[in-house]
Amino acid sequence: MSEKLNQLKEILGVVSDLNHAGSVLSWDQQVNMPPGGGEARGQQLATLGKISHEKSTSDEVGKLLDELKKEFTGSDSDESAMIRVAARNYDKATRVPAEFVAEQSIVTTAAFEAWVEAKGKSDFSIFRPHLEKVVGLVQKYISFFPPADHPYDILLDDYEPGMKTAEVQEIFGSLRPKQVELIKQISSAKQVKDDFLHKKYNEKKVWDFSEIIIGRFGYDFSRGRQDKAAHPFETSFSVDDVRITNRFEPENPLATFFSGMHESGHAMYEQGVNPAYERTPLAGGVSSAVHESQSRMWENLVGRSLPFCEQFLPELKKTFPSQLEDISAKSFYKAINKVEPSLIRVNADEATYNLHIMLRLELEIEMIAGRVAIKDLPEIWNAKMRETLGITPPDDAHGILQDVHWSYGLFGYFPTYALGNLVSTQLWEKINKDIKDLDEQIRKGKFDSLLGWLREKIHIHGHKYDPQDLVQRVTGSKIDSAAYVRYLTKKYSEIYGL
């Protein structure tokens, strides 16, 4: 290995360490930090972010990349991939001043604390001035880059490299009418019963059972843990320290199972990345959509499947006999897949979930363009919910304040949730061709073959391949909605007798 490559890896390793230290502080902010610590935490994150940014955008890094690109161009090696990804990151980072990175850390840390308070009190006015600052910074961030086909392209590219807004809008434009038509057919069918899902369940027992499930999936608790937070998430500090958070909702107690499955899908991806990529730009999942494909696969394609219900319901009934004593696996399966327009995105059924994402995409584009006033967002949100799903949020907590993402400035992230749904089913069709008895394995509570397939085809590669290239390498097609439409149509035609 060349001396220059070693020099680059050493610098990028330090940058990685600084970024992971910041991630630890962010995790602690959501899990452990007392409310009064917000201002100081924002300054700490700003300091780390500024130092990391300065190191990653130094002239020395730029010179090393220029020289190494000549040496490794055209190779399919890990080194060539690392240089390609590092050069891309460098190009983007050098356009953004370090002072802006520090300011953004301070503003978003305060915005998160305001969001927590606002959601708890269901009062958007508490969060509004912070969101106005965040949106202003996002608009400023866009201004650092050359004009794109669409300003939103610059934001989307941070989470889904190479994807364009026009591509997403085209995919959503073809998908939306098919999902709306399916929902229309379901609405005229006999509704399934799910009252037993909303009875009182002991929180600790639900929490413990969720850890049993994800442990059997393959989430390695010797390299991870599950803690409580206001919003479930996964975060990684290294391949050997990958953590998730979860929450318990008394009105929807078993949602803890599915959010646990979801976050463990993200976490198992991170735990499966090639350890040799540690402290390099190749570490971690390749994009938000591919990452989301893993979480949605374990949550929905596995966790909401009939074979899964047949495996786990008997054990669940022993834990909650009074709530589930007369419930069959088929009834449980139908109940957890009930299609009903709902207020909260993370609890939405598969048939309506993507409509929640499309609403958020529309709002983000309007906010960035300055075509909506932040003060009017609750009213606009409620109007779009009525138009899209036929329901109106009763308050801000169940409407505009339900997601944490905008407090952190994560504009451009939401579309990748729906794209991840599409990728999950593209992968699922290929998996079922390669593992012909997959349903039977799930029915027996065996997940080794599935996780092994994902490790080999997706996880181990980290950032080595661009997301669209990786999806095409594995499935033979770039991100496409056809498999998802086939999956939804088959599943819900069987459940609702369409």
Pick the catalytic residue from 263, 299, 310, 364: 263
pLDDT tens column, 84-134:
999 999 999 999 998 999 999 999 999 999 999 999 999 999 999 999 999
Higher pLDDT, 159 or 1: 159
Residues of the chain with pLDDT > 70: what percent? 100
Average model confidence (pLDDT) for the chain?
95
- Round to whole Å and give the CA distance between 260 and 234: 10
Q: Are 332 and 324 in contact (CB under 8 A)?
A: yes
Residue 446's contacts (CB-CB under 8 Å, 6 or more residues apart) are none
State yes or no: pLDDT of 70 exceeds 60: yes
Question: Quick one: average pLDDT of 227-247?
Answer: 95
pLDDT digits (tens, 9 = 90+) for 397-444: 999 999 999 999 999 999 999 999 999 999 999 999 999 999 999 999
Mean pLDDT of 459-465: 96
Three-state SS at 438 = helix
Residues near 371 by Cβ (< 8 Å), separated by ≥ 6?
A: none
Of 352, 444, 344, nearest in space to 389 by CA: 352
Q: Other C-beta atoms within 10 Å of 498: how many?
A: 12
Strand (E) or helix (H) holding 123 = none
Q: E strand or H helix at 259, and its extent?
A: helix 255-271
Return d(Cα 419, Cα 480) in angstroms, integer. 8
Could you say which DSSP state residue 234 is in? E
Per-residue model confidence (pLDDT) at position 349: 92
Instruction: Give the class (CATH, top level) of 165-496.
Output: mainly alpha
CB neighbour list of residue 253: distance below 8 Å, 6 or more residues apart: 197, 198, 199, 200, 201, 203, 206
In the structure, what pLDDT confidence band is assigned to residue 150 with cuts at 50, 70 and 90? very high
Per the structure block, which two tokens stand in for 226?
């599950």
Q: Which residues contact 490 (CB under 8 A, 6 or more apart)?
A: none
Stretch 32-49: mean pLDDT: 92
Instruction: Report the alpha-carbon distance of residue 92 to residue 342 in Å, rounded.
Output: 38
Specify whether 340 is catalytic.
no
Please tell me the predicted confidence (pLDDT) of residue 230: 85
Burial of 146 (C-beta count, 10 Å sphere; 0-12/13-18/19+): exposed
The answer, yes or no, to whether residue 347 has pLDDT greater than 90, is no
* Interatomic CA distance for residues 254 and 459, integer angstroms: 28
Residue 419 tokens, joined: 């794209």
Show me where the domains of the chain are located.
3-147, 165-496
Residue 1 pLDDT: 54
Q: What is the DSSP letter of 196?
A: G
Distances in whole angstroms, Cα of residue 387 to Cα of each of 100, 174, 367, 392, 435: 38, 18, 19, 9, 42
The mean pLDDT of 218-234, rounded to a whole number, is 95
Residues 439-456: pLDDT tens digits?
Answer: 999 999 999 999 999 999
- Contact (CB, 8 A) for 95 and 145: yes
Neighbour tally for 117: CB within 10 Å: 14
